[in-house]
Amino acid sequence: MRYRNRFLKVLSSVLYDLPAPVNLTIFWNFGSLLGVCLVMQIFTGLLMAVHYTPEVSQAFDSVVHIMRDVNGGWFLRSAHANGASFFFGCIYAHIGRGIFYHSFFMTHTWLVGCTLFVVLMAIAFTGYVLPWGQMSFWGATVITNLFSAIPYVGPSLVEWLWGGFCVGDATLKRFFVFHFLAPFILMVLVGVHIVFLHDTGSGNPLGIDSDAEAVPFHSYYVLKDLVGIVIMVGALCLIVFCEPDLFSDPTNFTPADPMKTPLHIQPEWYFLFAYTILRSIPNKLGGVMALAGSVLILYILPLYPKSLWRGSQYNPVAQFVFWAFVSNFVVLTYIGMCPVEPPFEFVGMVASVLYFLFYIIYPITWFFWENMIFDNVYSVTDVYGDGCKETSYTNLGSVYEDEYEQNS
């Protein structure tokens, strides 16, 4: 049946009969987990949108109404709010796996993935504003004010975002419309991301061409993904039923009050690394540039020179640098929760510098280790024929031996 129907045939080639490397590990499960997170967030979000009122005077009360009066509303809201944390946890693991195994050399797939990440951050930020609690209001005020640092067009851009001269009713309506529509744009980008991934083929832990050892995606990896999905959904349900406010800020349980500024304003945990970088720069424009750079720097990774091995699995120096980067990311997240005072302020500055320093040191470690192990002549060739270049090498000793035999 699926081979006679044209649509099912295409769908089968994408999901069912797709050749996949035989040695994929659990680190390749996060892509499917992200797809499940996206579906869950859209489903729960649509059901809540029926009861939500995007007006300053009623937004907070409408959320309370969903939690207390709507049948199952407490579950929908808790699953949606905590699902965002699972979404970002999976995407950070997905990006980390891509950096470790050099997936950024699949240029088109990586660039679309980075765009997905940026759009997801915008969706999450606008969604955080919608409950119109105290932290929602002041978070929107602080973050949108950052655009005023842009020369010439900054103040006009802020007024356009606000729909007036301050964060108010027009702002909330605009954020709600964006938060409602953007996930469907995200679904299109996910489709493009998958198309590019299937065109180039998936990487694998060995970093070698695995076409000869490919296996059908079903049933080998369908079952493997199901295990990860069951674990993630089980963990989400455990939090929703037992600790639904685990990732929530207590300040946001108070209705927004423009006349009372919270003592410590902080975003959700998945934005804290960028927030720490922002506040570590004393200059406003410099802080905004560092904030944007902390995310947009992912776009330059495909420009790195190719290493001998596709990944850091054979390079202990690169592994040390990578895990130091992960540890530094955790430090940035923790410092973002702390007040701007010694010693947290100094630690945040150091961690911010180390964050950007990683993107300089990481590619250097490849050639440091390879030159220490091998004595090679490197050449870069377009082996795929699609603009993606691959590094090859020739051992100098072998070259000298061949020349010696020919001359003699």
CB within 8 A of 304, min separation 6: which ones? Answer: 104, 105, 363
**408 CB-contact burial (10 Å; exposed 0-12 / middle 13-18 / buried 19+):** exposed
Q: Is 102 one of the annotated binding-site residues?
A: no
Catalytic residue among 32, 103, 202, 248: 202
Is 225 assigned a catalytic role?
A: yes
Point out the catalytic residue in the list 136, 268, 306, 352: 268
Question: Does 51 appear as a known binding residue?
Answer: no
213 labelled catalytic: no
- Report residue 79 as tokens: 């699953």
Give the closest residue to 56 by CA, choosing from 181, 182, 140.
140
Residues with Cβ within 8 Å of residue 350, at least 6 apart in sequence: none
Of 198, 218, 284, 389, the catalytic one is 198
Residue 264 marked ligand-binding? no
- What 3-state class would DSSP assign to 271? helix
173 part of the active site: no
Catalytic-labelled residue, pool 225, 294, 352, 370: 225
The greatest distance separating any two alpha carbons of the chain, rounded to the nearest whole angstrom, comes to: 93
- Active-site residue flag, 224: yes
The two structure tokens encoding residue 328: 């530094």
| Cα–Cα distance, 280 to 77 (Å, whole number) | 34
Dist. CA 170–CA 176, nearest whole Å: 10
202 is catalytic: yes
Spell out the residues 6+ positions from residue 153 whose beta carbon is closer than 8 angstroms to its own.
Answer: none
The one catalytic residue among 224, 345, 389, 392: 224
Q: Which amino acid is at 43?
A: F
Q: CB neighbours of 37 closer than 8 A, spacing ≥ 6?
A: 83, 86, 87, 90, 232
Binding residues for a ubiquinone: 198
Binding residues: 80, 94, 179, 193, 198
Binding residues for heme b: 80, 94, 179, 193
Q: What amino acid positions are annotated as catalytic residues?
A: 198, 202, 224-225, 268
